[in-house]
């Protein structure tokens, strides 16, 4: 038998933290690490397998022979197996062969903490480290201003495999190639952040990355770990933040993954009512187990620490919070108080956010949470879950429903477009038009718009203008900015050829301008999470399908007035109430000819008169372009 030398990176303090669920830097200890012991180079391996009888490292360096390199179990009942194998080098492929005390079951597993994996369909872990030299010092020093809750926050959601494929070779573009094309494009389009659908290693392309087997490695589909760091670095050097989708809700049953890891339900909850996700045919983490909590929180910290991520968008939070999520009566068990809330998840999410914000106060965590669960984005010290933001799924649903209707019927559905303001300030909301809205027969966003081609594009400009003037941060899935006709297909590139046609190029220019006006108009973002930043002018003009409101920033002179005409009828001499005298000047108009509009506008400054209207002391008469949002500034 080849020699495995006793060696450990763990201290007694590490073990105590691990057992108590408080070790949030496990990636520094677990997994494979290139080290030198007694002058000999090699690799230290450490894996958690408490039900194991024997754990062997098998790999290309021992011809995948079980028993050649048997790890030593620690004496402290931590369940950690470890040891130093001399002369193993960077780039070696390996797995853990585990013989269980549970009926001598044998499993062959990838390393849960590996920094790199083989390209699918191969599944081995790879010994790896890198000495990447970051060049984003200026961004890291100042990013708190870009990620603040009173900063403009416009996010471009991207699936790396289908944003753009290599045109000549019809293959994925690498992290390096994307660092040129994607960074240049996002910068030019005036987005503030990119959000990547999961880039952690995953085996099955149709899962889009949401079924993860390698939580600590960027997928090898697009290159090496240091190449992904290069992409992040380039985004930061261009002044663009990066948010990573993170999936602590479930994981797949693939034989090399986390499921039934050591012949027992190690990472997943043993009770299928809490441990199996029926919708996704996947396993659910056991949030009641301290070591699993350490694994997950360490993973969140890893991406913020090692890859300089500026935020984590936490997937499927609703499925985690509720014991009866997608379950019938009898398929779930109430908590100790008789409720449907998963108390272990609530405490886990609070601890996660406390650790993230304590260690990285200049990042954001964003919850994809589709229910009315209270205080998701409130601090834990007042009883909240502690997230920085929450996706506003109600706004998304109501808005798309409304805009899908022919304008002739909209006057009967005014409440759909105004209802979101009844609860807009209960959370720190992000307004998402995400990938979930352009798949599974839902149609593209443009494809949902009614009317002829001109009206469809005008409706889409109006929808986007309404989104950018509505309180909350913004998120758009790739392709929406130029009017992708087809539903998203993860196997193909976006239809960039559409930009050869004027309506699509005009829409692209419009979204770029919209990002620009948003970033340069403090009233549209400074108080985006506060009722102090919004005042209705009129929400009840059902007959004309017009809504109007004031957006407010820190300085009164920077307040703006927004008017949305939700029909194709031009409205002249349209009267709105205002709180002050002075003049109004039009500063943005989605009906501008430069954006493919008809060119109806308010070319001259408008005098505000002492004439009460809409419950206010003053008023002004405006011209409202068809299917358009118009923004005015006080003069």
The residue to which tokens 């998840």 are assigned = 345
Mapping DSSP to helix (H, G, I), strand (E, B) and coil, where does residue 359 land? helix
Tokens (6 digits) for 94: 């390996």
Residue 264 near residue 100 (C-beta atoms within 8 A): yes
Half-sphere exposure of 180 (CA within 13 A, CB side): 5
Radius of gyration, alpha carbons of the chain: 27
Which residues are catalytic, by number?
315, 368
- Residue 628 burial (10 A CB sphere; 0-12, 13-18, 19+): buried
Assign 5 to helix, strand or coil: strand
Burial code (b: 16+ CB inside 10 Å, e: under 16) for 78-116 equals: bbbbbbbbeebeeebbbbbbbbbeeeebebbbbbbbbbb
Rounded distance between C-alpha atoms, residue 124 and residue 507, angstroms: 45
Instruction: Give the integer Cα–Cα distance in Å for 555 and 553.
Output: 6
CA distance 427 to 365: 13
Rounded to whole angstroms, the Cα distance separating 635 from 632 reads 9
Handedness of CA 103, 106, 110, 113 (dihedral sign): positive
Q: Measured between alpha carbons, how far is 80 from 73 in angstroms, rounded to an integer?
A: 6
Residue for token digits 């290069």? Answer: 230
Strands 364-367 and 311-314: parallel
Identify whether the C-beta of residue 459 lies closer than 8 Å to the C-beta of residue 448.
Answer: no
What sign for the dihedral angle of Cα 179, 184, 185, 190?
Answer: positive
């Amino acid at each position: 038998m080849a020699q495995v030398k006793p060696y450990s990176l763990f201290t007694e303090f590490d073990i105590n933290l691990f057992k108590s669920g408080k070790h949030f830097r496990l990636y520094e200890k677990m997994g494979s690490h290139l080290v030198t012991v007694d002058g000999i180079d090699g690799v230290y391996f450490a894996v958690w397998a408490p039900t194991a009888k024997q754990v062997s490292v098998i790999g290309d360096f021992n011809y995948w022979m079980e028993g050649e390199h048997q790890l030593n179990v620690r004496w402290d009942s931590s369940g950690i197996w470890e040891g130093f194998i001399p002369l193993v080098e960077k780039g070696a492929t390996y797995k853990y062969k585990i013989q269980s005390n549970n009926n001598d079951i044998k499993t062959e597993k990838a390393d849960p903490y590996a920094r790199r994996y083989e390209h699918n369909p191969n599944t081995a872990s790879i010994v790896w480290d890198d000495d990447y030299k970051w060049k984003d010092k200026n961004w890291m020093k100042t990013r708190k201003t870009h990620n603040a809750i009173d900063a403009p926050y416009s996010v471009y959601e991207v699936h790396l495999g289908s944003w753009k494929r290599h045109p000549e070779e019809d293959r994925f573009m690498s992290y390096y190639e994307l660092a040129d094309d994607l960074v240049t494009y996002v910068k030019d389009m005036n987005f503030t952040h990119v959000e990547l659908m999961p880039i952690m290693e995953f085996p099955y392309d149709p899962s889009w990355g949401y079924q993860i087997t390698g939580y600590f490695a960027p997928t090898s589909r697009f290159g090496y770990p240091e190449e992904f760091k290069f992409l992040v670095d380039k985004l930061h050097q261009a002044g663009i933040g990066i948010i990573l989708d993170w999936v602590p809700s479930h994981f797949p049953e693939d034989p090399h993954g986390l499921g039934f890891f050591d012949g027992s339900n190690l990472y997943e909850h043993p009770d299928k009512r809490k441990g199996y996700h029926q919708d996704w045919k996947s396993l659910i983490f056991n949030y009641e187990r301290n070591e699993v909590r350490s694994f997950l929180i360490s993973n969140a910290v890893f991406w913020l620490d090692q890859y300089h991520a500026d935020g984590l968008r936490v997937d499927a939070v609703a499925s985690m919070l509720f014991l009866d999520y997608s379950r019938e009566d009898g398929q779930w068990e109430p908590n100790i108080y008789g409720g449907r809330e998963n108390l272990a998840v609530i405490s886990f999410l609070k601890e996660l956010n406390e650790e993230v914000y304590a260690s990285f106060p200049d990042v954001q965590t964003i919850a994809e949470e589709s229910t009315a669960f209270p205080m998701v984005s409130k601090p834990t010290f007042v009883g909240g879950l502690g997230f920085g933001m929450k996706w506003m799924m109600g706004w998304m649903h109501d808005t798309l429903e409304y805009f899908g209707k022919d304008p002739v019927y909209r006057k009967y559905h005014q409440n759909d477009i105004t209802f979101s303001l009844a609860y807009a300030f209960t959370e720190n909301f992000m307004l998402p038009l995400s990938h979930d809205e352009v798949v599974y027969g839902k149609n593209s966003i443009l494809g949902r718009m009614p009317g002829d081609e001109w009206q469809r594009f005008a409706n889409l400009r109006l929808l986007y203008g309404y989104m950018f003037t509505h309180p909350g941060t913004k998120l758009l899935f790739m392709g929406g900015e130029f009017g992708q006709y087809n539903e998203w297909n993860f196997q193909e590139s976006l239809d960039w050829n559409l930009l050869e046609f004027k309506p699509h190029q005009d829409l692209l220019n419009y979204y770029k301008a919209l990002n620009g006006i948003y970033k340069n108009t403090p009233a549209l973002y400074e108080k985006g999470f506060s009722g102090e930043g919004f005042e209705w002018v009129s929400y009840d003009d059902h007959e004309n399908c017009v809504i109007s409101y004031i957006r407010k920033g820190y300085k009164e002179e920077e307040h703006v007035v927004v008017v949305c005409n939700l029909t194709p009828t031009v409205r002249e001499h349209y009267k709105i109430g205002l709180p002050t005298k002075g003049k109004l000047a039009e500063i943005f108009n989605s009906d501008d000819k430069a954006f493919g509009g008809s060119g109806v506008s308010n070319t001259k400054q408008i005098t505000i008169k002492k004439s009460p209207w809409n419950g206010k002391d003053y008023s002004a008469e405006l011209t409202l372009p068809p299917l358009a949002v118009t923004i005015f500034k006080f003069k």
